[in-house]
């Protein structure tokens, strides 16, 4: 498809449609495909990104962030130039809360273990900020639960902490006595039930 005299509206429509595609074309590729000037396509993309109607170009960041001639690290990841990565920050479209949650959810399922842990923590922080979760997250094991109880008792001071422990001991003793009494009555109840069935 070749446009003889494309209007600004036509180029804008092509740019937006390209941005919505799963694998968007670069400005050069889009210009060549539709017979447009590369500069015109690039200007249209820049305008749409600044207006928030077009997401940032991942291709652009990946190509500029990787240093020319840099050697991959031991894990195969190429060194990244942070300044180049942040060079087009003004054109970046800010992710919505829901989009950020989707990114973090993907990381918790498919990222390396350290990334998973941090992503889960970030999601929990977001839940607390939005009122979905009140207080700290559930403890992961008994040791963490013991640590939290110890921190709470230490925080209230020795006098209140001691009284709290004594109150807990009294509750546990009452519950233990009630359980023992119920266990002692159980055989007698069973005997009475059997006697009724045989009469």
| Residues 4, 50 share a domain | yes
Is 50 inside a domain boundary?
yes
| Residues 51, 1 share a domain | yes
Could you read off the pLDDT of 11-68 as tens digits, one per residue? 888 888 888 777 778 888 888 888 888 888 888 888 887 777 776 655 544 444 444 4
| Residues 20, 3 share a domain | yes
Q: Which residues fall within 8 angstroms of residue 30, CB to CB, at 6 or more apart? A: 14, 15, 18, 36, 41
| Residues 103, 84 share a domain | no
What CA–CA distance (Å, rounded) separates 44 from 40?
6
| Residues 19, 49 share a domain | yes
Query: Full-prediction pTM beyond 0.75?
Result: no
Is 180 inside a domain boundary?
yes
**pLDDT surpassing 50 at residue 77:** no
Is 118 inside a domain boundary?
yes
| Residues 66, 48 share a domain | no
**Total domains in the fold of the chain:** 4
Is 141 inside a domain boundary?
no
Could you read off the pLDDT of 97-152 as tens digits, one per residue? 888 888 888 888 887 878 888 888 888 888 877 766 556 667 778 888 888 888 88
Among the candidates 91, 112, 144, a domain finishes at 91
Is 76 inside a domain boundary?
yes
| Residues 125, 104 share a domain | yes
| Residues 113, 84 share a domain | no
The whole-number pLDDT of residue 54 equals 74
- Can you give the residue range of the structural domain that contains 80? 60-91
Is 160 inside a domain boundary?
yes
| Residues 51, 7 share a domain | yes
Among the candidates 91, 108, 143, a domain finishes at 91
The whole-number pLDDT of residue 195 equals 64
């Amino acid at each position: 498809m070749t446009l003889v005299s494309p209007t600004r509206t036509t180029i804008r429509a092509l740019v937006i449609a390209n941005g919505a595609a799963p694998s968007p074309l670069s400005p050069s590729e889009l210009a060549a495909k539709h017979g447009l000037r590369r500069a015109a396509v690039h200007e249209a993309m820049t305008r749409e990104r600044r207006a928030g109607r077009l997401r940032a170009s991942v291709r652009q960041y990946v190509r500029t962030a990787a240093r020319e001639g840099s050697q991959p690290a031991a894990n195969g990841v190429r060194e990244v130039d942070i300044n180049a990565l942040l060079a087009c920050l003004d054109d970046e479209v800010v992710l919505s809360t829901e989009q950020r949650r989707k990114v973090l959810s993907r990381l918790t399922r498919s990222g390396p273990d350290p990334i998973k842990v941090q992503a889960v923590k970030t999601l929990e922080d977001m839940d607390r900020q939005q009122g979905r979760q009140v207080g700290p997250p559930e403890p992961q094991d008994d040791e963490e639960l013991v640590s939290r109880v110890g921190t709470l008792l230490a925080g209230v001071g020795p006098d209140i902490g001691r009284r709290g422990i004594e109150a807990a001991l009294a509750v546990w003793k009452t519950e233990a006595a009630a359980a023992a009494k119920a266990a002692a009555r159980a055989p007698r109840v069973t005997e009475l039930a059997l006697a009724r069935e045989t009469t």
